[in-house]
Structure 1
């Protein structure tokens, strides 16, 4: 027997996603986009900041590169813990509440990090910063994807996700300018104050996901108020709001039980693998590339600026998002990761030629960051609403351990005195593994198609 509430005869009902799809993007949706973009941008800035201030820490505190390992990886442990806990919380409590708390936490912790007196204090505060960062990213992705028209979801989500590499790149450019004038602590002060100001805006303006409101059987008045900002007065024509899922719902409890249900299990594992491998590359290079290039003979300022081109390459994600809305996304991303492997390998072969090195680093950044960023909308589209925040967050949370592995991998290669060519050859291998994982995932999408099993539909009343 179907436990869902039955609408009275003559009730005027509408599917909320269809209502969103039938209207052009409103100013309200662009406001949601802007706030999520800023959250992700600040996430990228704070995440990458520690790598850019590392040379200054070595000089001021008289520490060695291996001693920086715990500091560089502390935020990554926090990122993993934050993501793994925040996804299920957001599927229970709502996207807005968890997202606002997350931004507040990483803002306060980043500001406090600027006043750390030693490596131990800095590592502790970076862990707390990571808790907020880890919770913020997946919920921003989830909230944005749930306010997007279906036909433009990957494009807009990828465009929003460009904030992360842009924020990381801005961190490099700002660090190169700020550190000589005000010292390394100024970078962390900026990384703390900006999120705290954004938190105030989020409390006042950021809406809850309308899809979440429907699945949680919230009042018609609350759902109608959210949709009125998109569809205008037309929403008053309806007194019932439904949500027909585009993916099979196998567990009414949602959360991790949904993400690990049999139709999703293999696809989930492949997403985790791809994201893990992508972050092995990203954090291995973002944390160590300035030092690697400096040791290869480049001036510190030049090494920092060239390294900043790597995360800046993520702007290419917009084009991939557009392609994902039109072609089979798993195959597209598998190709992206295969090309990433070739591009990263080439960096280690061109260190002595600065002009070609600049081009190589930027091209590798475009391919790698575009492929990595595109995994977020891929995951958001893979899961139904009741498991979407958990699915995206756990992919990112498990993937964060790849960031930890990447930082220690490059540190270990340094201890072994590996050549810069060897370092980049080794770091190129995870991209091939990510490509293989996405090729395997192609075969799992059919199992989650609601044409094969009836999709669940929530009804708000």
Structure 2
């Protein structure tokens, strides 16, 4: 009997987005949501830590930066592991890791122990996010890949915002440890659902020559009308058997990937400089300009609100036009917004609310840069590609988190800082533009798949 050849990508594109795929989206959303909540938790418990342990703000700095460094290193290591052992395994292990370490942080007895626990927590957080993004992107049809991946990614900002509401409800009554306790229990509960419900990436299974029946069991949950009897599953990607033993990191620079990889790194790095500088230092600059604490918090919150709205709008646009055009235009618009903010007094609250919201709207392209990475890399090294974009970009976050304070301490005025932020925005726009032009004329070589190589 002749074997049927089923192209998994065509199968996903030609079938409706099923209830099974919505379950995957919800589970990945929960992972990213809890990731955002745990990442933001330290900012809300810092005042209580200073009061209880009688430490200075400077002494707390290593604790605050430990998770950021852990996030970077976790992302850099998790991608290659996921491309070898699978997305699901890494997601489950990393979720358990950051849950357990957040619980350990709740029991910390000194700044040193808390710093260590937060660093290891960051390793888990940094590993979970890129693999959740990758797994989700590998289950959505091409025509809806950007918007559905974006909806899942919004869990990060919603989780970060929710940390403030949870903190205001529990920290005054139960102390700072209660927030970390909640942040530790939630991922452990989530991990149970991940173990029993979340499937492995079907694309990954095809690339790893998993048994056909295992792949068929997953695809039947998407469409029960297709007969998978005696089927062979393929992808429209060439799989070099030797690439399975080589480093996935090396693959990011092979097969004409090098320029695209560097441009994605540069773009995300520059974008996080802007995000962390604005969210970390805009309130301080506005308060020093005579704005009340409440108004400064509202204006900064509008940046995050605008970013969330921008994520969804740009995800919708990227499914309908060139992602390169959408992202490069958005970064260019963010540069103009930074210039506009610089030329208006910070104490003009109404005008700043509008400008900061527009800047956040434009910076929604930051998430789309990650979505673009999921579409740029092939299945064999997609997790590595996405995680390294996020990991390298995290160092931009470290730069942004410290840059505002350094520049202010050296006498820079707020308008000078915002003019300076137009530079990384412009660089990011140029980098994506270069990537788009280059791969329009020199696309990645993806020859027609050989059915036997993936059989």
After TM superposition, the score normalised by the length of structure 1 is 0.90
Separation (CA, whole Å) in 2 of partners of 1:167 and 1:142: 19
Residue of structure 2 aligned with 1:330, choices 324, 335, 340: 324
Query: Is 1:252 the equivalent of 2:246?
Result: no
Deviation digits for residues 414-450 of structure 1, max 9, x if unmatched? Answer: 4324333333333343211111110111133243444
Q: Are 2:35 and 2:125, in contact at CA under 8 Å, matched by a contact in 1?
A: yes
Query: Is 1:408 the equivalent of 2:402?
Result: yes
Separation (CA, whole Å) in 1 of partners of 2:351 and 2:401: 25
Query: Is 1:144 the equivalent of 2:139?
Result: no
Q: Aligned pair count? A: 450
1:227-306 aligned within 5 A: 227-245=219-237, 252-253=243-244, 255-306=248-299
Query: Is 1:51 the equivalent of 2:43?
Result: yes
1:383-422 aligned within 5 A: 383-422=377-416
Separation (CA, whole Å) in 2 of partners of 1:328 and 1:42: 32
In the alignment, structure 1 segments of 5+ residues that lack a partner are 1-8
Q: Are 1:20 and 1:147, in contact at CA under 8 Å, matched by a contact in 2?
A: yes
Q: Are 1:337 and 1:367, in contact at CA under 8 Å, matched by a contact in 2?
A: yes
> Which residue does 1:339 correspond to in 2?
333
Deviation digits for residues 374-398 of structure 1, max 9, x if unmatched? Answer: 0111001111110111111111111
In the alignment, structure 2 segments of 5+ residues that lack a partner are none
What do you get for the CA RMSD once the two structures are aligned? 2.5
Structure-2 change in CA distance of 1:223 and 1:402 (3 Å): same
> Which residue does 2:425 correspond to in 1?
431
Separation (CA, whole Å) in 1 of partners of 2:348 and 2:185: 39
1:127-276 aligned within 5 A: 127-245=119-237, 252-253=243-244, 255-276=248-269
Structure-2 change in CA distance of 1:454 and 1:243 (3 Å): closer
| Bigger mean CA deviation after superposition, 87-96 or 232-241 | 232-241
Residue 47 of structure 1: how far off its partner (Å):
1.9
Query: Is 1:375 the equivalent of 2:347?
Result: no
Residue of structure 2 aligned with 1:11, choices 3, 19, 35: 3
Residue 200 of structure 1: how far off its partner (Å):
1.1
| Bigger mean CA deviation after superposition, 89-98 or 33-42 | 33-42
Separation (CA, whole Å) in 1 of partners of 2:311 and 2:275: 15
Q: Are 2:256 and 2:445, in contact at CA under 8 Å, matched by a contact in 1?
A: no
Deviation digits for residues 308-356 of structure 1, max 9, x if unmatched? Answer: 3333332321221121122111121011111112334444544313333
Q: Are 2:269 and 2:397, in contact at CA under 8 Å, matched by a contact in 1?
A: yes
Separation (CA, whole Å) in 2 of partners of 1:350 and 1:456: 62
Structure-2 change in CA distance of 1:119 and 1:458 (3 Å): farther
Separation (CA, whole Å) in 1 of partners of 2:82 and 2:186: 23
Structure-2 change in CA distance of 1:248 and 1:218 (3 Å): closer
Separation (CA, whole Å) in 2 of partners of 1:305 and 1:121: 34
> Which residue does 1:101 correspond to in 2?
93
Deviation digits for residues 162-204 of structure 1, max 9, x if unmatched? Answer: 1112222222344445444444433323322221211111111
Separation (CA, whole Å) in 2 of partners of 1:60 and 1:433: 44
Residue of structure 2 aligned with 1:29, choices 21, 35, 46: 21
Separation (CA, whole Å) in 2 of partners of 1:188 and 1:421: 37
> Which residue does 2:80 correspond to in 1?
88
Separation (CA, whole Å) in 2 of partners of 1:394 and 1:342: 29
Separation (CA, whole Å) in 2 of partners of 1:422 and 1:53: 31
Deviation digits for residues 397-421 of structure 1, max 9, x if unmatched? Answer: 1111111111121231243243333
Structure-2 change in CA distance of 1:316 and 1:450 (3 Å): same
| Bigger mean CA deviation after superposition, 293-302 or 224-233 | 293-302
Separation (CA, whole Å) in 2 of partners of 1:420 and 1:331: 31
Structure-2 change in CA distance of 1:251 and 1:460 (3 Å): closer
| Bigger mean CA deviation after superposition, 249-258 or 315-324 | 249-258
Deviation digits for residues 196-219 of structure 1, max 9, x if unmatched? Answer: 211111111110000001100010
Separation (CA, whole Å) in 2 of partners of 1:209 and 1:439: 31
> Which residue does 1:363 correspond to in 2?
358
After TM superposition, the score normalised by the length of structure 2 is 0.91
Structure-2 change in CA distance of 1:311 and 1:103 (3 Å): farther
Residue 228 of structure 1: how far off its partner (Å):
0.5
Deviation digits for residues 259-300 of structure 1, max 9, x if unmatched? Answer: 111501011000000011111122233344444444444444
> Which residue does 1:311 correspond to in 2?
304
* Matched position secondary structure for 1:252: helix
Separation (CA, whole Å) in 2 of partners of 1:428 and 1:63: 36
